[in-house]
Amino acid sequence: MQPDDLLSALRDRRILAIVRGNDPDAALDAVLALFRAGVDLVEVSLTTTGALAVLERARAVLGPYAALGAGTLLTAADARAAARAGAAFAVTPGLTEAVGEAQSLGMPVLAGAVTPTEVALAWTEGATAIKLFPGSLGGPGYLRALRDPFPDVPFVPVGGVDAEAARGFLAAGAVAVGVGGPLVGTAARAGGDVAGLPARIAAFRTLAEEFPCPTS
């Protein structure tokens, strides 16, 4: 996946689904259920038990072109392991050494940042988009303030993003929002309500459709 491909996917889908949990089989089921339901931009957090195996198994089922990424990359070793497991893009919680390593491996990066200094550094270092994390810290008002000095930076708030917060962030100009539990539910943790995914997906898609994606 090229950086432009990830940015286009974020702009088109508006929802980045985040899968994390303590049951590898349930996490895999959740990933596959998301793709089957049309949410085809998915991150598997490395905090998930057996995350690398989940990525490998999902990639084998979904094929080489699925927009399947790895999140919570902290080290260069994390980035290398994620690439070997089939991750197409990398997501970091901050300006970790995984940012540069992932780029060197050809993976576009959604780099975590929260302060203006961090945003500027991440953007200068070639991040494809900025993961505003934790999004709940400042909320949509903080995103609006950040977009004043950084109008051309694509922001993806993550952390504490439920349906209400998603509406606020999209209205404030986020290109997409990263959503874990409120979208995936308990499916990835312990084989929970996969059957309820379509309804939750529909709710978040309705929110995304309310607001046109910003051009910058």
Sheet holding 41-45, edge to edge: 155-157, 129-132, 109-113, 90-91, 67-71, 41-45, 15-19, 177-179
Active-site residue, 210 included: no
Place of tokens 């993550």: 158
Active-site residue, 43 included: yes
Helix axes 51-62, 24-36, angle to 10 degrees: 30
| Residue 87 identity (one-letter amino acid) | A
Nearest to 173 by CA among 192, 149, 197: 149
Nearest to 78 by CA among 129, 124, 44, 113: 44
Nearest to 72 by CA among 53, 57, 58, 51: 51
Catalytic residue among 131, 164, 209, 210: 131
Alpha-carbon distance of 45 to 82, in angstroms, equals 10
Residues serving a catalytic function are 43, 131
